[in-house]
Every structure is written in C-alpha cells, then in structure tokens.
Structure 1
Amino acid sequence: MIKLVASDLDGTLLLHKAQSLPEEIFSLIRQLEELGIMFVAASGRQYPNMTKLFAPVASEISYISENGALAVDHGEVLYQDSFDRKLAGKIISAILEKKDAEFTCSAKDYHYLMPKTKRFHDHMLYEVKNECRFVNSMEEMTAPIMKLAVFEPAGLTEESVKYWMDRFGKECVVVTSGNEWIDFIPFGTNKAKGIREYQKRYHISPEECIAFGDEYNDIEMLKAVKYGFAMEHSKEGVRAATSYMTKQVEPVLEKLIRAKGKIEEVI
C-alpha cells in the first residue's frame, strides 16, 4: 500500500519548460489525500515559488525545496541546511567572472540576485516568478544561504558541466538541475534527505513510497523509495537508477488512485 508520492517539478510535472502546473494535478493530489496518501513536491526551486505553483492545494501538501536544503511540512520547517559563506563567495565570484553566466543565491524566503542582464532579471521575476532580492554585493546577503545555482543561458554542455564540477566538485555537491542550471549544495544535502525525514516522521517505509524524477539531482530521491519512476526523456544515468519509467506522472497517479493505493495493480 502506497502512503507517500513524491515528484520533481521541472522536466517531470512541468514539461516542455512550462511554468504552470496542469490543472488535473490538483484534483489528483486531493484524491490521493482522500486515500491517505501524502504528496510531496520535491524540487530545486525555492519554497515560495513552489507554494505559488501549487496554490490550490498549497496548504495540503509537503515540500522539499532547494534540492533538499529545505523541507516544509504543512507550513512547519522540518530542517534547513546552510552553505559555508566563504565557499559561497568563491562560487559567486567565479560565476560573475564567467561570461554570460548568472547566479541565484537561496535564502529560505527569497533568492538573492545580481543580474548581469535585464533578460535574466525579467526571467526570474516574471517567468519563473521567484521571490527575489536584488543586491550589489555578498555583504548585503544577510540571511543564511542554503544553495547556489549557476544559470547558463545558452544551455548546459558537457564542457560547462565539467568546468563547474572540476572547479567546485571537491568542496560541495555540483549537480545539473534542468537544461540551463547547475546547483551547488552542501555535501549530504539532496532530495533523498527530505524523503527520509518524511518517512521517519510518518513511519512510512521505502516500500510504501513512489517518486518521479528526470535529472541527476533526482537520483538519490529515486533510490530512497522502492518505486522510483524516471521520465522517459531522462538522461541514461537517471533511467539506469530506477526500475520503472513513464512518459507522464499523471497516468501513474490515476492508476494508483483507481487501485486505491495498491502498487501491484499499477506496475
């Protein structure tokens, strides 16, 4: 019997670079709740952005945000990781030096930004719709830092991924998060950490959990449950980490609801 469903957002529930969730997901979440199955949204996105995306059911679900750096359960913070400020400064300086690269610096309730272009400024405010604070230096970033991310507007390449991993991979986790983003997070921070916190809090075993994801930052989460589903368009390494695949999340949830949580009737 499934008791917990966790899903990534970008590339999983949000397909083709969509910035709004399909309406049907809200009904599915409510139906899962009626069956006693909790829904956890797990993303590299910031917590306030996620609550906006899930507005119709925002208070009814749980969250793992910033790639596992923050977990919030029905408004209650379960934990919040913090990034070493000296290392954060090194990463920010490296991003500012790299042509065209932009960064976000994550605090709990907003992102710190020093945009190089109006295009990135507008993208974060009006397309991604993040809560943002614009600063001129790191000294103005007074809140605890949870995560940093670099945005490569031309899209990630093997060369750019290797550049950031070679530069900072020995000091923190460096992981791709979508087609244009690379995240920098403290060692030990990932979405699986949040999943394990929810499993512990609600006495749920890995055998009672389903998770969906499409990127390398989802692999730990997919392995933290028995029923990990990689999206069909996922990279080979993500697909290799799971036993199941799907083109979309919603049909799997529909089957699970019809089966009243009995996973055997879904797979």
Structure 2
Amino acid sequence: MTVKMIATDMDGTFLRDDKKYDVDRFREQLKFMDEKKIQFVAASGNQFYQLKDFFTPITNQYKIDFVADNGARIFMANKLIYEATVTREQLQKVIEWNAKNPASHNNLIILTGNHGAYVSNHAVDQVLTEVKSFYNPVYQVEKLLEIQDEIFKVTFVWPNKQVQAYVTALLAIFGDELHATGSGFGSVDVLARGVNKASGLSKLQAAYNITADEIVAFGDNNNDLEMLNYVGTGYVMPNAYPAMHEVGFKEALADNNHDGVLVTIDQILENI
C-alpha cells in the first residue's frame, strides 16, 4: 500500500478524552513521515486556533496541515489556502429555523468566525466552560446576527445527544445551499454547500499531487463519513458511534484512550 498522506479526526479519535496524546511517540512518527514525504493532516470540526494549540510542542519541528471547521478552512501549516463562508442571509435563515423548532428551546448556538467563536451572553458559566474546551478564543455577544466577522460554521448543541433528526430536517430545508452534519456531543454543524472533511482533503491532495487512494484517514463520527469514504483506506475507532461500525471501514488497533491512531500509524509505517 502506497501512503502519501495520513489524516485524522481529533476528538474521540486522535485525542484521548482528556485532550492529550503521546507527544514523544507522535514526534518520532512525524520524523519518519517527514523523511518519507508523507503528509500529516488534522481534520476536525475544531477551529484552526484550537488545532494549532494541540500541536504546539511539535509544529516548530515538523509541518502539520489542517482541515479545520469540518472543511470550511484549509491550511498548509500556517498558510490559509481555502475557506468557505456562510452568508449573512443563510445565517439568518438557519437561526430563524432554530428559533421556530420546538426541540431547540434549550439548545446552544455557536458561530465560528475568522477571529474566534461566538455565543450568546446568556450562556451560563458551566456551558461557557464546556464551549471553551472546544473553541479558542470564545466571545459572548448580545446579538449573534450582528457579529462583524466572516462566519464559517454554525453549530447547534442540543442536550439530547441524538441529533440525526435535526440533521435530516436541516438538509431537507437548506440542502440546496448548505451542508449539515452531526459532529458529536449533541452538536450539528451547518456549513457552506459541499463543505466537509473530504472536500477539505481534496484541496490538500491537489496541492501535493496525491491521489485519494494514497490517503489513510481515521474517524469516529458522522462528520467523518465523507472523509473515510473518500480516501483509499479509512479506519474507524473501536469507540466510534455504533452506526460507524456498520459501514465497512477497517478498525483502528485500539480506542482513542489507548492511542489507537498512533498504534495503527506505527503498523502502517512498518509496512512502508
């Protein structure tokens, strides 16, 4: 198997539940990958700023690329090469849909922009603390529709973790102009049409002249489906959502809390 790119989701996949990973082990893998000209990509619903923070101990030595915001922003190291925004009109439509949806009474709206993430100033401290574990920086605002920033992603977070019905409803109404996907932890991301992790990888793939068959990817959730179907070899985590195990992907050698991505990468690199 020829491998020229390895891409991985972060939460529930590359990262342990405490948001940590084996830095020294990963550094050694990157050293080998750098010698073999294999690109490493963090492909996540997280913002670019948050993703950079995870890899601060390493990026001064080795280059990492980023498919951030579920594909809405693509970076080669620190260089932005692509972004897709949600228009003001689209933003208003989906927020109005949420306001009229009876099941959305207690949900949280997060807007991801160029300068950070935005939530209502009505968010309580406990909720704000949880948001800050996924977004950096976070700003509280009075009116979401008056934010002076480009918005790449709208996230709705429901207390009920079963969100597929909301994804289906959003796609039924807005599918001609927007994309919606479940993103774990009771959240649904709304993005520009055609934007997902696979479309993000395709931008990097073109830049490096790599074929999809030469890419390996890891994931655990619905927002990884397009990516895992797109690449030559897709791995699903043992701890993934049950439906992910029914698609026919390979299974990583351990779960996220036992460094499953790193363990599997070691096996892949041994055969190169």
The TM-score bracket by the shorter chain reads 0.7 to 0.9
Runs (5+) with no aligned partner, structure 2: 255-259
Q: Does 1:222 align with 2:225?
A: no
Match of residue 142 from structure 1: 148
Among residues 160, 171, 179, which one is paired with 1:173 in the alignment? Answer: 179
Match of residue 29 from structure 1: 30
Match of residue 83 from structure 1: 86
By how many angstroms is 1:149 displaced?
0.5
Distance across 2 between alignment mates of 1:51 and 1:242: 32
Q: Deviations over 1:61-98 (max 9, x none)?
A: 00000000000001111100011211212323444673
Match of residue 265 from structure 1: none
Q: Does 1:251 align with 2:252?
A: no
Distance across 2 between alignment mates of 1:30 and 1:96: 49
The one-letter amino acid of 1:30's match is: K
Q: 1:100-119 alignment to 2 at 5 Å?
A: 100-115=106-121, 116-119=123-126
Runs (5+) with no aligned partner, structure 1: 263-267
Identity within the alignment, %: 24
The one-letter amino acid of 1:130's match is: N
Moved more, 238-247 or 152-161: 152-161
Match of residue 70 from structure 2: 67
By how many angstroms is 1:188 displaced?
0.7
Q: 1:174-189 alignment to 2 at 5 Å?
A: 174-189=180-195
Distance across 1 between alignment mates of 2:200 and 2:168: 27
Moved more, 68-77 or 116-125: 116-125
TM-score by length of 1: 0.86
Aligned residues: 258
TM-score by length of 2: 0.85
- Aligned residues of 1:47 and 1:108 also touching (Cα < 8 A): no
Match of residue 257 from structure 2: none
By how many angstroms is 1:20 displaced?
3.0
Distance across 2 between alignment mates of 1:223 and 1:161: 19
